Amino acid sequence: MLTHKKSFFKVVCMICVFAFLAADPLCAAAAKVQTKIPTNFELIEKVSAEAAQEIVSGLGALPGDGMVLLAKSKGAGDADFIMENALVKRLRDGGSRVSLEVPKSEDSTSVRPAYRLSYQVIRLNIAYPRISRRWWFGSKEVERAAKADIFVQLVDLTTGDIRWVGESHRKYGDTILFSLLSSVEEKQYEFTRPSRSEFKLMRLVEPVIVGGIVVGLVYLFFSNQS
C-alpha cells in the first residue's frame, strides 16, 4: 500500500512540474500569435470614431448649406482632441462644412456658421480593470477597457432653437499579456498609460504553489536515490 501511495504522489508531482514548466512557453506562443495588437491610443480612437459616427448619424442631413461650428462645452481630459478629430471627420464625410472658431465680426468674407454643435465629453479613457494570472502560474494577463461617453446639442444660430439633442456611449475591451504593455502604451501620451493595479491574491497563492513544487522535486530526487 505504501508503495502505491508513493507512486501516486510521484505522478502528481510530475504533473505539477510539467504544468509549471509548460505554462510560460504556451503563453509566449500565444503572444507570438497576437502579431497585431491595437495600442491604447488606437482603442481610444476606435471608441471615439464609433461615438462620433453614432452622433452624426443621429443628426441626419442638415438643411441648407450652412456651416457647423463645433464647440466643446465640457471636456474629460487630455484625450479630448481625439473625439474632436473624430467628430470633424464624420461631419465632413457627411458633407457638412465644419469650423472650430467663430469668424471675426470685422471679417466680411468669412462664411458665418449656421449651426453650433456643442458637445460634452463625459468620459474618454482607457483602464486596466484587472491584472492577474489566468491560472495559479504562468504569464500575467491584462484586461483593457476603453470607454467614450459624449452628449451633444445642435443649435440653430439664426433662430437660437435647439434642433437636436443626442448622446453616445461606446466601449471596447480585450485581454493581452502583461509583457505586451510596453508596446501598447505611448510615452508621449499619459492617458495611454493607466494605473496598474494587480490582483493581490495571486501574490499569496504563488509562493504556496512554487513551494509545493519544490518539495515535490526534492521528494522525487531522494525517493529515486533509494
Query: Which residue reads 465632413 in cell numbers?
Result: 92
- DSSP letter string over 58-105? HH-PPSTT-EEEEEEEE--STTHHHHHHHHHHHHHHTT-EEESSPPPT
CA distance 77 to 75: 6
Q: To the nearest whole percent, how much of the chain has pLDDT over 90?
A: 55
How much is the average pLDDT of 133-156? 89
Domain 37-200, CATH number (from 3.30.70, 2.40.128, 2.30.30, 3.40.50)? 3.40.50
Per-residue pLDDT tens digits for 160-191 = 999 999 999 999 999 999 999 999 999 999 99
Whether the pLDDT of residue 27 is over 50: the answer is no
Instruction: Give the list of residues 6+ apart from residue 133 with CB closer than 8 angstroms, or none.
Output: 139, 140, 141, 202, 206
CA distance 90 to 85: 9
Per-residue pLDDT tens digits for 30-67 = 444 556 899 999 999 999 999 999 999 999 887 767 89
Per-residue pLDDT tens digits for 6-22 = 555 555 555 555 554 44
How much is the average pLDDT of 100-112? 69
Instruction: Please give the helix or strand (H or E) that residue 8 lies within, else none.
Output: helix 2-33
pTM above 0.75, yes or no: no
Average pLDDT of the chain is 82
What does residue 54 show for φ and ψ, rounded to 5 degrees? -65, -40
Q: Which residues pair with 143 in a beta bridge?
A: 130, 175
